[in-house]
A and B are shown apart, each in its own frame.
Chain A
Amino acid sequence: GNSVTQMEGPVTLSEEAFLTINCTYTATGYPSLFWYVQYPGEGLQLLLKATKADDKGSNKGFEATYRKETTSFHLEKGSVQVSDSAVYFCALSERSGGYQKVTFGTGTKLQVIP
């Protein structure tokens, strides 16, 4: 079956530091890849997505490139802010049984300190 593996947290960074959260996946076909963010006490919000190999998703300064050869979708941001503190989930979506099924990673908690 499909699976998503992302680096364990928590990750603690100083403001303006560079962020990388690793994500690798296994899938039987050609999935779409996503990063979701969950702020404390809230539901998930779509951060960015990529639907095919070599696509780059970007939003709010975050970027991730769909690397089929390494089955990876690492999340990066050049300069993090305190407001970026949240839990980040890598996910893939693939058609299964007539509908799109989403598989999530375990989440990586990011804490940015001033």
Chain B
Amino acid sequence: GAVVSQHPSRVICKSGTSVKIECRSLDFQATTMFWYRQFPKQSLMLMATSNEGSKATYEQGVEKDKFLINHASLTLSTLTVTSAHPEDSSFYICSARDSGHYGYTFGSGTRLTVV
């Protein structure tokens, strides 16, 4: 089946630094990937849609200069949290849709803690 690998699973960084999260589709090509953020005891909130070879589409209220998304190939999308602050601490999850699979395959998520 379709597999999405997300790395790292956990990261702790200092306030003011940047963190990159990778999302890879392992056995299929994903022209579109999605990045979500999950707050404790809350649902997943879509942050942005990442399109291969073009600029990401950000949801209302999401700072595109803070959450940089790059989708340079059909199997890799990255989310960079720039100048991280403690309020950016959260669980970030990516997903991708295989053209032959009606549904979405999710990565295992990244727990970001900014100290």
Binding site for B on A (CB under 8 A): 32, 34, 36, 42-46, 49, 51, 89, 93, 97, 99-102, 104-107
Residues in B with CB closer than 8 Å to A97 are: 57
The size of the chain B interface, using a CB distance under 8 A, is 21
Residues in B with CB closer than 8 Å to A93 are: 103-104
CA distance A102 to B33 in the complex (A): 12
Q: Are B102 and A49 in contact (CB under 8 A)?
A: yes
Residues in A with CB closer than 8 Å to B107 are: 43
The listed residue with most B CB atoms (<10 A of its CB), out of A34, A36, A46, A49, is A46
Residues in B with CB closer than 8 Å to A100 are: 97
Contact A43:B6 (CB < 8 A) given known A99-B49, A101-B46 = yes
Q: Are A43 and B106 in contact (CB under 8 A)?
A: yes
Q: Are B97 and A106 in contact (CB under 8 A)?
A: no
